[in-house]
Amino acid sequence: MEYRIEHDSMGEVKVPADRYWGAQTQRSYENFKIGIEKIPLEVIRAFAVLKKAAAMANHHLGKLDDTRSKLIAQVCDEILEGTLDGHFPLAVWQTGSGTQSNMNVNEVIANRGNEIAGETLLHPNDHSNMSQSSNDTFPTAMHIAAAMEIEDRLLPAIDLLIGTFDRLMAENEGIIKTGRTHLQDATPIAFSQEISGWKNMLEKSRQMIILSLPGLKELALGGTAVGTGLNAPKGFDVEVAKAVSALTGRDFTTAKNKFHSLTSKDQMVFAHGALKGLAADMMKIANDVRWLSSGPRCGLGEISIPENEPGSSIMPGKVNPTQCESVTMVAVQVMANDVAVGMAASQGNFELNVFMPVCIYNFLQSVRLLSDSLVSFNDHCATGIKANREKMEENLHRSLMLVTCLNPYIGYENAAKTAKKAYREDISLKEACVELGFLTAKRFDAVFKPEEMV
């Protein structure tokens, strides 16, 4: 491999000749060979947005000349297009402020920009990082990445599954089945009502996620090192937030209190709590679906789901609810990520949180996994859910909890005696009720209407 010599304040460093990063990136790359987890590309894209916005703001405020501003913007566009992805190699497990990733972006912008210009015009600290600090850029990149991934990936995925449940509700209107509580038979429910519960879970989770977005759209940029805004021109924070909004087409604002935005990650915790709520709902929905589809002969068997792949290497013909299992594993991971995000946020000592890379890594993984699993579950499972009407009707009329509709006519205790006799002697509720003398057969038929219990 060929190398070139780069230098920083600590001296000279050998850097691969075909990479645009510089000395500080190389030092981090060599010093933190930990795990396989890299700073997510979503964060790198967010950095490109904020670096371009910073150049625009600095130019507007008379700090940066037109040539350098345009050069920085050009390289940032290349980063956003993905053509420079191979130049961001750093591990999540680096400095807790994300300083080395900020410098990675600064160095790539400077070296690539100088290559484009054919002369040395950009310095990673003096120009790429002008009016900024790693301490305000990394939390800004976190918020931009989190907000954009939620809006661009997660919300559309939620809407997709909501639409499928809407269709299933309409298709299954009028089908009555037995309800279940505590995994035991309960009073009847319409299948469309059961599906409506699933749908409303997603709608409520969506609302809670949206409630968290304003906090994520507050930017720390302009606070520089400790929140005082040292070395940033007056009005930079407002201008750069305007520029980020213009570049992304979203309403980002500058944080009113930069001391809070540098040291606290409570807005990330709040937003991830909503993600955990969605994960909990998806766990419940997936479990319902696999219980209802269990069988095909020895389970509930009230619905069928698509058969996507063989389910066993030893049992021929076996098909498993694999999409449900995938969803529930994702839910477990998101719940575990919530612990990491919360613990990372608790480490805001004095003027800076120093657990930011692990915080955003887990946050974005949750968004990514939820988005992908919602689409996969929708496309490969939910869209193919079919009601087994015969099995639902059979289970409904075998349920002893239908006796509940007799309460107004024979009282709770007599209804309980009827159910226990029917179960003990393996006879129908009607036979038990008549034999006990609580109702005549004619009166029983007049008041016993399961389809009216929903």
Whole-number Cα distances in Å, 237 to 70, 201, 203, 243, 259? 20, 38, 35, 10, 13
- Give pLDDT, residue 100: 98
Kindly list the catalytic residues.
182, 312
Give yes or no for a contact between 191 and 454, defined as CB atoms under 8 angstroms apart.
no
Q: What is the pTM of this model?
A: 0.96
Q: What are phi and psi of 8, to 5 degrees?
A: -140, -165
Closest CA to 219 of 143, 121, 319, 333: 143
Closest CA to 333 of 362, 358, 376, 361: 362
In this structure, the chain runs to a length of 454
Whole-number Cα distances in Å, 116 to 102, 320, 407? 21, 55, 83
Gap between the Cα atoms of 140 and 354, Å rounded: 14
**Mean pLDDT for each consecutive 10-residue tract of the chain (454 residues)?**
93 97 97 98 98 98 98 98 98 98 98 98 98 98 98 98 98 97 96 98 98 98 98 98 98 98 98 98 98 95 95 90 98 98 96 98 98 98 98 94 94 96 95 96 93 90
Residue 287: how many other CB atoms lie within 10 Å = 15
84 conformational bin, left if phi > 0, alpha if psi -120 to 50, beta if neither? alpha
- What sign has the CA pseudo-torsion 183, 186, 192, 193? negative
- Give pLDDT, residue 136: 98
- Give pLDDT, residue 202: 98
Question: Regarding beta strands 352-353 and 3-8, do their DSSP bridges make them parallel or antiparallel, or are they unpaired?
Answer: unpaired
Residues β-bridged to residue 178? 188
Gap between the Cα atoms of 105 and 114, Å rounded: 14
Closest CA to 278 of 357, 216, 333, 342: 333
Q: What are phi and psi of 35, to 5 degrees?
A: 65, -170
Give yes or no for a contact between 375 and 291, defined as CB atoms under 8 angstroms apart.
no
- Token couple for 316: 């021929």
Non-local CB neighbours of 331 within 8 Å, separated by 6+ positions: 279, 280, 282, 283, 286
- Give pLDDT, residue 451: 85
Give yes or no for a contact between 267 and 252, defined as CB atoms under 8 angstroms apart.
no
Gap between the Cα atoms of 267 and 250, Å rounded: 18
Gap between the Cα atoms of 324 and 318, Å rounded: 16
- Give pLDDT, residue 450: 87
Residue 446: how many other CB atoms lie within 10 Å = 11
Closest CA to 177 of 52, 324, 288: 288
Question: Regarding beta strands 3-8 and 11-16, do their DSSP bridges make them parallel or antiparallel, or are they unpaired?
Answer: antiparallel
- Token couple for 165: 């449940």
Residues β-bridged to residue 218? 253
Gap between the Cα atoms of 298 and 275, Å rounded: 35
∠ Cα 264 204 147 (to 5°): 40
Give yes or no for a contact between 221 and 237, defined as CB atoms under 8 angstroms apart.
yes
Cis peptide before 296 (omega within 30 of 0): yes
Place of tokens 């003990």: 424
Gap between the Cα atoms of 81 and 68, Å rounded: 20
Burial class (CB in 10 A: 0-12, 13-18, 19+), 184: exposed
Whole-number Cα distances in Å, 98 to 91, 93, 165, 274? 10, 9, 42, 25
- Give pLDDT, residue 300: 97
